[in-house]
């Protein structure tokens, strides 16, 4: 197995759902799960085709109440290719090929990440002793976003005789990929037309039932035998909601029959087309053959890899290859969702990719973990994804108004038009109960959006974006936070109530009628950071833009001064750890909660990642305990350096002590169940300079989140994009100590003891930088381009660097046998 492919050498029905998700192919515009060519939904198989931004709403009834959900629609399956034997005498047809009804002699499925191809090769023996070889390859073009192609072949090894081949575009699909949602309505598509054109091109035209989003698929089919074209007239397949063609021919022993299927996908939202059906037919008719299309596709991937590949060297060759392979798998899937083709599509980043139906394709705060990777490599994609938010600024203003606040309040879960898409009730599969869902109280998503705008501007210096879009979002979000903050006269402080932090296990105080918590530390510090940033943001804008924006937003000095007052007066709570030393409280009152019986529950349930479900099924609630689903307070150490955090906390009027970070990390790390895959990424990051061994363990676990489906079944419903990107970013920024601050690109590398070498290329303000970290030195080489010099910071000093120049900094080599380093993340600069 090379460092560039994922290989499965036997069929495993239990793992098929996971493999379908991991072998998904996509190009940012659309994606298809890695289902077998002949598979229909059912048993272990779930073919799924998803369009970026392709949502539809349906109303279902739950407990006698109408509940509306918006889902990322499963669009027609364009994969189906199959065959069956015909009787020699009367041509009577046998059953279609079914993997479950034959003996599998050989099986190999390979995801080639370098070229973006999925290959499958089978040898099967049927009940009559006929041995056949079936091979197929497919790709979803990274070069031409409306195109995909399959090359399928059947080789009779010990038989010859009449067969029938079938290729289809199948619109008889529903959203049935997530068991928990199956009692809800799931039929999103209405067929407009389907058929076989006289020249043998298939087409299927469908529309979503509510959003009226039309998709047309067209397929050009070409038959050949051992590469020589075969002329066989297709018969149309008669099926409601599907377009199909059948070919009858006689297979010769040892001679391959090949079917090439080139598919075009267009929608009513595409640019530069007259009408989707016309576009699909025209495009597929004019398309090149599989091999030529594959070449263009491979070139597009090789260009992406040039920007994104990073190489780490581990102690052993095997570990090195395995780790690089998983890191590439993560980059591969990230780029299949956030590719350059999203430009102009008005889409966000669905937390579970375009790989499955979990979370209904909604967009959460996970981009916080994703953008740093894009910022340093293809920042134009971040810009597009931020524009998705900008276009929903009015919807966010409306949400704020509806909740009685000023400014803009973005929803916790976002879909087509920016309204709140968080489900009102969710099913606990452990108890079978539908429960109210309070998670929309995670207003911290707003802080993340503002933070992301600022980081993007830091990475790119894109002042046009800031002037036209970014500043307005940032300031309107700041205004929302100022309006939700209240003055607590008794404490002479500002408080934020009724919210949830990232830790979803706490959504209310024990026994309270109302949901939400008071003074979530992560939220309050983020808000303080944002409210302080407002003036700096305005100062950065060219004078006229600043004037105009302030006029438009009716933002004056008084309001800015009030924001500064809130920023410095927001409450941060502390309580004592076991040794009586203060740690930051996740929220006000956290210290009064009960300690949780971690050992007892682990012994009783084994896997206790989803303690919310376990406790609810027992008639209890996590709200009573000191436990967290995921990093919450620790997010602060993930997003801010020790220096920044100190400034923030002191700026809020609290005294800083140098061991606070270390104690707080230890405290929450002992009380986190990692029920979200994001959690290990954060904890590994914050531990990197505190407990290096634990940090490495968590990094290794985070790497395995999806490829080994460590949550036991969730990856089959869609990959975890935040954790995928987050692990790569841990290498990119965590191990290099990369930080963007005050227009300087700071480095403070510290490789884990297990790594000897790290190499990658970064983009920063127009420069391409080759970065190499060894145990004893950091080397930065700026490639030879005529762009403005940039500033690199290392060890408190700032160096200018321009195209063609190199900087080399010696690093002190840590002793791998020393006790865990107790210094908090070093402040740079």
Piece in contact with ligand BGC (CB under 6 A), picked from 188-196, 203-211, 267-275, 363-371: 363-371
- Contact letters for ligand BGC, residues 636-675 (x by CB under 6 A): ----------------------------------------
Q: Is there a contact between 772 and 759 (Cβ–Cβ < 8 Å)?
A: yes
Q: How far is the CB of 686 from ligand BGC (least distance, A)?
A: 16
Among 40, 366, 662, 683, binds ligand BGC (CB under 6 A): 366
- For ligand BGC, the closer of residues 244 and 361 by Cβ is 361
How would DSSP label each residue in 336-402?
A: HHS-GGGTTS-----TTTTS--GGGG-B-STHHHHHHHHHTT-HHHHHHHHHHHHTTHHHHHHHHHH
Binding of ligand BGC by 351 (CB under 6 A):
yes
Among 364, 410, 454, 529, binds ligand BGC (CB under 6 A): 364
Among 504, 729, 739, 754, binds ligand BGC (CB under 6 A): 504
Of 139, 199, 203, which is closest to residue 169 (Cα–Cα)? 203
3-class DSSP state of 816: coil
Q: What distance lies between CA 653 and its chain's CA centroid?
A: 37
- For ligand BGC, the closer of residues 217 and 676 by Cβ is 676
Report residue 192: phi and psi, to 5°: -95, -50
Q: Is there a contact between 617 and 431 (Cβ–Cβ < 8 Å)?
A: yes
List own/partner pairs for 266-273 with CB under 8 A and 24 or more apart.
266/146, 266/215, 266/216, 267/51, 267/54, 267/213, 267/214, 267/215, 267/216, 268/212, 268/213, 268/214, 268/215, 269/53, 269/213, 269/345, 270/146, 271/344
Say how far apart CA 445 and CA 501 lie, in whole Å: 9
Q: How far is the CB of 523 from ligand BGC (least distance, A)?
A: 13
- For ligand BGC, the closer of residues 145 and 502 by Cβ is 502
For the segment 605-634, give every residue that binds ligand BGC (CB under 6 A): 629-630
Piece in contact with ligand BGC (CB under 6 A), picked from 31-39, 209-217, 357-365, 456-464: 357-365
Among 47, 156, 418, 722, binds ligand BGC (CB under 6 A): 722
Residue at token pair 């087309």 = 273
Q: How far is the CB of 703 from ligand BGC (least distance, A)?
A: 17
- Token pair listed for 364: 């959460």
- CB neighbour list of residue 183: distance below 8 Å, 6 or more residues apart: 60, 62, 427
Q: Is there a contact between 529 and 462 (Cβ–Cβ < 8 Å)?
A: no
Number of Cβ within a 10 Å radius of residue 185: 18
Q: Is there a contact between 330 and 727 (Cβ–Cβ < 8 Å)?
A: yes
For the annotated catalytic residues, the residue numbers are: 504
For the segment 255-294, give every residue that binds ligand BGC (CB under 6 A): none
Report residue 804: phi and psi, to 5°: 85, -10
Q: How far is the CB of 720 from ligand BGC (least distance, A)?
A: 6
For the segment 78-107, give every residue that binds ligand BGC (CB under 6 A): none
Piece in contact with ligand BGC (CB under 6 A), picked from 230-238, 364-372, 456-464, 816-824: 364-372
Q: How far is the CB of 454 from ligand BGC (least distance, A)?
A: 20
Residues 593-626: b if buried by 16+ CB within 10 A, e if exposed: beebeeeebeeeeeebbbbbbbbbeeeebbbebb
Say how far apart CA 382 and CA 396 lie, in whole Å: 20
Q: How far is the CB of 611 from ligand BGC (least distance, A)?
A: 12
- For ligand BGC, the closer of residues 144 and 440 by Cβ is 440
- For ligand BGC, the closer of residues 74 and 630 by Cβ is 630
Q: How far is the CB of 265 from ligand BGC (least distance, A)?
A: 27
Of 18, 31, 25, 17, which is closest to residue 115 (Cα–Cα)? 25
In this structure, what is the dihedral angle of CA atoms 776, 782, 783, 788, given to the nearest 10 degrees? 180
- Contact letters for ligand BGC, residues 676-705 (x by CB under 6 A): x-x---------------------------
Q: How far is the CB of 120 from ligand BGC (least distance, A)?
A: 30
- For ligand BGC, the closer of residues 364 and 465 by Cβ is 364
Piece in contact with ligand BGC (CB under 6 A), picked from 133-141, 360-368, 464-472, 473-481: 360-368
Q: How far is the CB of 503 from ligand BGC (least distance, A)?
A: 8
Q: Which regions of 667-764 does DSSP assign to beta strands (E)?
A: 739-741, 744-747, 755-764
**Alpha helix (H) ranges present in 516-622?**
521-540, 543-553, 557-569, 598-605, 611-617
Judged by CB under 6 A, how many residues of this single chain contact ligand BGC?
Answer: 12
Of 200, 238, 205, 195, which is closest to residue 220 (Cα–Cα)? 200
Q: How far is the CB of 601 from ligand BGC (least distance, A)?
A: 19
Among 44, 177, 502, 737, binds ligand BGC (CB under 6 A): 502
- For ligand BGC, the closer of residues 26 and 145 by Cβ is 26
- For ligand BGC, the closer of residues 307 and 430 by Cβ is 430
Among 97, 308, 359, 454, binds ligand BGC (CB under 6 A): 359
- For ligand BGC, the closer of residues 211 and 442 by Cβ is 442
Among 78, 365, 596, 640, binds ligand BGC (CB under 6 A): 365
- Contact letters for ligand BGC, residues 446-485 (x by CB under 6 A): ----------------------------------------
- For ligand BGC, the closer of residues 154 and 370 by Cβ is 370
| Contact set with ligand BGC (CB under 6 A) | 351, 359, 364-366, 502, 504, 629-630, 676, 678, 722
């Amino acid at each position: 197995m090379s460092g560039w492919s994922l290989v499965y050498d036997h069929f495993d029905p239990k793992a098929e759902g996971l493999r379908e998700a991991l072998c998904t192919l996509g190009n940012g515009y659309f994606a298809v799960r890695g289902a077998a060519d002949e598979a229909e939904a059912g048993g272990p198989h779930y073919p799924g085709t998803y369009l970026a931004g392709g949502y539809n709403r349906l109303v279902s009834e739950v407990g006698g109440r109408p509940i509306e959900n918006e889902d990322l629609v499963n669009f027609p399956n364009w994969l189906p290719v199959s065959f069956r034997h015909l009787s020699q005498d009367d041509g009577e047809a046998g059953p279609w090929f079914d993997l479950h009804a034959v003996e599998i002699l050989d099986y190999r499925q390979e995801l080639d990440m370098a070229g973006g191809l999925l290959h499958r090769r089978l040898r099967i023996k049927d009940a009559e002793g006929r041995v056949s070889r079936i091979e197929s390859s497919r790709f979803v073009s990274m070069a031409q976003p409306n195109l995909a192609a399959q090359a399928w072949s059947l080789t009779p090894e010990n038989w010859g005789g009449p067969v029938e081949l079938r290729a289809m575009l199948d619109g008889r699909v529903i959203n049935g990929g997530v068991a928990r949602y199956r009692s809800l309505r799931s039929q999103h598509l209405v067929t407009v037309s389907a058929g076989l054109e006289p020249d043998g091109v298939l087409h299927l035209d469908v529309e979503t039932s509510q959003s009226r989003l039309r998709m047309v698929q067209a397929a050009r089919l070409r038959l050949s035998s051992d590469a020589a074209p075969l002329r066989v007239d297709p018969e149309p397949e008669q099926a409601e909601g599907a377009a199909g063609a059948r070919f009858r021919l006689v297979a010769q022993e040892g001679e391959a029959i090949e079917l090439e299927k080139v598919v075009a996908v267009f929608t009513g939202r595409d640019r530069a087309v007259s009408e989707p059906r016309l576009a699909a037919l025209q495009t597929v008719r004019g398309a090149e053959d599989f091999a030529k299309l594959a070449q263009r596709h491979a070139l597009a991937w090789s260009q992406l890899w040039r920007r994104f590949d990073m190489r780490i060297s581990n102690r052993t060759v095997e570990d090195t290859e395995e780790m690089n392979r998983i890191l590439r798998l993560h980059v591969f899937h990230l780029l299949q969702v956030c590719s350059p083709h999203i430009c102009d599509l008005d889409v966000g980043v669905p937390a579970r990719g375009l790989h499955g139906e979990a979370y209904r394709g909604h967009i959460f705060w996970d981009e916080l973990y994703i953008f740093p990777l894009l910022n340093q490599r293809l920042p134009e994609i971040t810009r597009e994804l931020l524009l998705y938010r900008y276009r929903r600024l009015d919807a966010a203003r409306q949400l704020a108004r509806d909740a009685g606040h000023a400014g803009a309040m973005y929803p916790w879960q976002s879909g087509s038009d920016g309204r709140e898409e968080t489900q009102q009730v969710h099913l606990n599969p452990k108890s079978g109960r539908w429960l109210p869902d309070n998670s929309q109280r995670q207003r911290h998503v707003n802080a993340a959006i503002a933070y992301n705008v600022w980081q993007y501007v830091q990475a790119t210096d894109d002042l046009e974006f800031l002037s036209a879009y970014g500043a307005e979002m940032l300031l309107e979000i700041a205004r929302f936070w100022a309006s939700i903050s209240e003055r607590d006269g008794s404490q002479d402080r500002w408080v934020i109530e009724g919210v949830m932090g990232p830790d979803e296990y706490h959504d209310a105080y024990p026994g309270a009628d109302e949901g939400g918590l008071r003074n979530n530390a992560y939220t309050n510090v983020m808000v303080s950071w944002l409210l302080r940033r407002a003036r700096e943001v305005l100062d950065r804008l060219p004078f006229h833009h600043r004037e105009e924006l302030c006029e438009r937003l009716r933002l004056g000095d008084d309001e800015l001064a009030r924001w500064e007052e809130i920023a410095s007066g927001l409450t941060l709570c502390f309580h004592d750890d076991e040794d009586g030393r203060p740690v930051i409280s996740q929220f006000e009152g956290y210290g009064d909660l009960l300690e949780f019986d971690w050992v007892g529950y682990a012994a009783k349930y084994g896997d206790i990642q989803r303690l919310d479900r376990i406790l609810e099924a027992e008639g209890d609630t996590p709200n009573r305990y000191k436990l967290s689903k995921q990093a919450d307070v620790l997010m602060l150490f993930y997003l801010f350096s020790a220096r920044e955090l100190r400034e923030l906390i002191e700026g809020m009027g609290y005294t800083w002590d140098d061991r606070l970070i270390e104690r707080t990390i230890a405290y929450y790390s002992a009380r986190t169940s990692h029920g979200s895959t994001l959690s290990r990424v954060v904890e590994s990051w914050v531990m990197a300079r505190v407990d290096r061994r634990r940090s490495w363990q968590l990094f290794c676990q985070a790497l395995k989140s999806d490829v080994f489906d460590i949550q036991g079944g969730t990856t089959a419903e869609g990959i975890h994009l935040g954790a995928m990107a987050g692990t790569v970013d841990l290498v990119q920024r965590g191990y290099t100590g990369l930080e963007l601050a005050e227009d300087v690109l700071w480095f403070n590398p510290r490789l884990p003891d297990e790594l000897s070498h790290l190499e990658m290329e970064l983009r920063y303000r127009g420069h391409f930088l080759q970065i190499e970290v060894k145990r004893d030195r950091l080397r930065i080489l700026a490639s030879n381009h005529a762009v403005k010099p940039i500033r690199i910071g290392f060890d408190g000093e700032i160096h200018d660097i321009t195209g063609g120049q190199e900087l080399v900094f010696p690093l002190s080599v840590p002793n791998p046998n020393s006790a865990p380093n107790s210094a908090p993340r070093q402040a740079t600069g």
